Amino acid sequence: MSGIGAALLNSLDIGLLLFIIAVGLNIVFGVLNIINFAHGALYMLGAYLAFTLINIAGMPFWAALLLAPIGVAILAVIIDRVLLRFIYSRDVADSLLLTFAILLIINESVRMIWGSGIHVVQPPQLLSGSVELLGSSVATYSLFVIVIGLLLLAGLWYLFNRTRVGRIMRAAALDRDMAEALCINTRMVVTGVFAFGAWLAAVGGVMAAPMRALDPGMGDKIIIESFIVVVIGGLGSFPGALLGAIILGLIHGFGGRYLPEVNLLLPFVGMALVLLFKPNGIMGKGASA
């Protein structure tokens, strides 16, 4: 029983972390209609900025959790205004190519600035112990990730369904021309949404930093995972992102414990199975060519 309980909690913390990251990818796709290949690189940048703020500048974890994502969001505004503005009116292939180029640039920059070695970030004192839960000891930090994940989930739901800003974002996603006709500055919405997506990725990065070692390949891993999440759940669907993230979390939580030999392959098998029976994802629609 305790084994299953621990695997379940583990699945939940992996799943909610993935949700934070994948939902950012999904929101950007929903409004801008582009898949941001550099999303994982922005997540990595959040983690590395947190490392610098905590280990080099000596700031507390909480300050890094606040500041690092803002830094990444500012960079995202620059990327949007300097590079992406050229290709919004073009074919979708160009946006894929350009964000891929940005991914290469960020990946190599991280390698140049922080080196290719591994860096470690310690969790804050308050969260570094473990607690007894469901008859087994659980890292306090895992519970913290779960709580923050649930808070962000509730916050995002509130933002999209109950606020004016959320309504504007949904309007821009549905019909940008119509939104513009209603005096909404869609250019600002586009930049804002791209920065918000980057902010979410970076929050995920800071949250992940004390759980995983930092290395220049960490962005690659997470972007693949995020793609699997949105393919399983359905591209552009908010509940889909949650469902996909939880499914992938369960695959990792239980697969890592009970099937360690094929652990790396399981997410792809899961994705292939969903594709065979639901090509548009479990909650998605209209992806067929």
Partner 1 sequence: MKTKVLMAILAVVIAGLIAVPWIASYFYVFIFTEILILGLFAASFNLIFGYTGMLSFGHAAFFGIGSYATALVLIHLEWPFLACLLVSMGASALLALMIGFLSVRLNEVYFAMLTLAFGMMVFAIAYQWRSVTNGSDGLAGFTLGSFGLGLDLTLANPSVYYHVVLAIVAIASVVLYVICRSSFGMILRAIRQNPERVSFAGLNVRTYRLVAFVIAGTFAGLAGGLIAPFLRVASPELLHWSMSAEPILMAILGGTGYFLGPFIGSAAFVLLETWITTYTESWMLVLGIILAMMVIFFRKGLLGTAIDWWMEVKK
Task: Enumerate binding residues for partner 1 (CB under 8 A).
Answer: 29, 35, 37, 83, 86-87, 92-94, 96-98, 100-105, 107-109, 111-112, 220, 224, 227-228, 230-231, 235, 264-265, 268, 271-272, 275-276, 279-280, 287-289
Q: Which of 105, 107, 98 is nearest to 44 (CA)?
A: 107
Number of residues in the chain: 289
Q: Which of 28, 46, 38, 14 is nearest to 244 (CA)?
A: 14
Q: Which amino acid is at 269?
A: V
Q: Are 166 and 159 in contact (CB under 8 A)?
A: yes
CA distances from 166 to 156, 160, 178, 196 (A): 9, 4, 16, 12
When the beta carbons of 239 and 279 are compared against partner 1, the nearer one is 279
Tell me the two tokens of residue 235.
């591209």
> Considering the complex, what minimum distance in angstroms separates the CB of residue 153 from partner 1?
23
Q: Which of 158, 180, 189 is nearest to 30 (CA)?
A: 189
> Considering the complex, what minimum distance in angstroms separates the CB of residue 46 from partner 1?
19
> Considering the complex, what minimum distance in angstroms separates the CB of residue 91 from partner 1?
9
When the beta carbons of 40 and 253 are compared against partner 1, the nearer one is 40
Sort strands 130-133 and 136-139 into parallel, antiparallel or unpaired. Answer: antiparallel
> Considering the complex, what minimum distance in angstroms separates the CB of residue 96 from partner 1?
5
When the beta carbons of 236 and 249 are compared against partner 1, the nearer one is 236
When the beta carbons of 102 and 246 are compared against partner 1, the nearer one is 102
Query: How many Å from the N-terminal Cα to the C-terminal Cα in the chain?
Result: 46
> Considering the complex, what minimum distance in angstroms separates the CB of residue 65 from partner 1?
29
Tell me the two tokens of residue 33.
């209609």
When computed from its CA atoms, the radius of gyration of the chain, rounded to whole angstroms, is: 19
> Considering the complex, what minimum distance in angstroms separates the CB of residue 42 from partner 1?
14
When the beta carbons of 7 and 103 are compared against partner 1, the nearer one is 103
When the beta carbons of 112 and 213 are compared against partner 1, the nearer one is 112
